[in-house]
A and B are shown apart, each in its own frame.
Chain A
């Protein structure tokens, strides 16, 4: 077997709140293989976003190791870290908050191409158009301001930005949670297409097992910062072992259409 793309072990992040210290992420370990989708599931506050931010080096852990593409990702700093960031990208939940409110679509896509020296200034407009078409958008959108386009279009732009630097792994933190059902289905399909064609791995974070069952190969279920259970996505969703796993399955409307509570649970 080849070595994993990402190997996380013993990842821990504590926050001080009031007088006491809480572990937002507590000794979490998992691997992601190239081209694979691993889902991180768990209720709100279970530490999913904290793990995403730790992996992206937006915050630093108190303990643990992160190996990415065979190197110690946590020891990288400065220019070396910025360069390696091309390989590890992120898509945020709220695509409006994720972009500079003053930016245009073109600028949002131009930045990664410029920063990583992927294309010359003259070549970049063509690359931007190609990226937009790659994610199913019209190239004409380049001139628009970020706030002028729809939420679904914005999330496609976010995906275009993430793939601009040809990453091997994209972390998606609740990336489809704010979208309505039909748009969500299209975005999931886009992610699947990109994965098949470019062999990108995803760390797909969601509280919704319905969405996870549509996209993930494996799943890790978190509860209060700890791993409650993990395994093949189908197997875990069909027969959850942990209490939190069972609760999440019960709350997922698509998996449990007969439940009268499912709609209410979905809206929570």
Chain B
């Protein structure tokens, strides 16, 4: 059976894929449905949800359209989550490949650095980095990646250690290929599958970290974020709990969707690999 069909026979994976698809649609459609600044005043302050058709989810403390904020927040969450995870995976794969392939002193130094990064809780690392450099989208992405690349680095290194003993690597040396080309063109692509299998967890964690940073006021101030919305809503938690609950639920669903869909992909491809 092909992996795509197997994927769609797994109920969790399908649920994850649907959530993810909805999220992507929201992110892509945000500027279409809600052109203009989502942070502009759209109506009376603290309008509850389902009261006014033009503002279905109501407004926040300053009278901003919650639905518009939610859509634009999906953009930020997804963009930051994906960019941070991609950065972490790329850095991790490169560091792990160099360490595993070079061995010796290079390996020793790189793995000590990896250890050092791993011992500091990744959220503290992100917090410290953004506090020092200042909040902007790029900095937030880098800050999250800073705490997330060590896992991929370890997995890549372990994989490279076994791949470098294979005959085709010896064959590449025999034809005189440069060690850098062997490492990055022959070894790394073959080491990627188990590294990519980490992506669902890393994307999910990155989205949560971004929300936490925004909640603490360390997100990009020019962008709507779900974390920022929750923080905003906290001031009126008793009188208007929906202002925190709506972005909170969106966040939980997103993380769940990313995780379930990602695991589904890993699962179906892993089964295929063990069959062949």
Residues of chain A whose beta carbon lies under 8 Å from any beta carbon of chain B: 53, 56-58, 82-83, 85-86, 89-90, 92, 94, 97-102, 111-112, 115-116, 161, 164-165
Contacts and interface: CB of A to CB of B under 8 A. Distances in A.
B41 to A, nearest CB: 55
Contacts of B170: 53, 56, 58, 90, 92, 98
Interface stretch (B107-115, B118-126, B173-181): B173-181
Contacts of A90: 170-171, 174
A99 B168 contact: yes
Nearest to B170: A58
20 contacts: A58-B173, A85-B175, A85-B176, A89-B174, A89-B175, A92-B170, A94-B167, A98-B167, A98-B168, A99-B171, A100-B190, A101-B190, A102-B189, A102-B190, A112-B175, A115-B175, A115-B177, A115-B178, A165-B175, A165-B176
B12 interface: no
A83 B177 CA distance: 10
Contacts of B176: 82-83, 85-86, 112, 115-116, 165
Contact of A100 (B173, B174, B178, B186): B186
Contacts of A85: 173-176
A100 B166 CA distance: 9
B178 A82 contact: yes
Contacts of A98: 167-168, 170-171
Given A97-B166, A112-B176, 4 more contacts: A56-B173, A85-B174, A92-B170, A115-B178
Nearest to B169: A100
Contacts of B189: 102
A169 to B, nearest CB: 12
A32 B155 CA distance: 45
B175 A111 contact: yes
A116 to B, nearest CB: 6
Contacts of B166: 97
Q: Which of A57, A58, A94 has the most chain B CB atoms closer than 10 A to its own CB? A: A58
B58 to A, nearest CB: 53
A85 B175 CA distance: 6
A97 B186 CA distance: 13
Contacts of A89: 174-175
Nearest to A173: B167
Nearest to B185: A100
A52 B178 CA distance: 21
Interface string B218-242: 0000000000000000000000000
Lowest 10 CB-CB distances: which A-B pairs, in order? A82-B176, A85-B176, A97-B167, A112-B175, A98-B167, A98-B171, A90-B174, A100-B168, A92-B167, A58-B170
A180 B173 CA distance: 29
Q: Which of B173, B175, B178, B186 has the most chain A CB atoms closer than 10 A to its own CB? A: B175
A133 B192 CA distance: 35
Contact of B168 (A56, A97, A165): A97
A86 B174 CA distance: 8
A56 B174 contact: yes
A56 B175 CA distance: 10
A149 to B, nearest CB: 15
Interface in B104-146: none
Contacts of B177: 82, 111, 115
Nearest to A88: B174
Nearest to B173: A58
Nearest to A84: B176
B46 to A, nearest CB: 58
A204 to B, nearest CB: 17
Contacts of B172: 100, 111
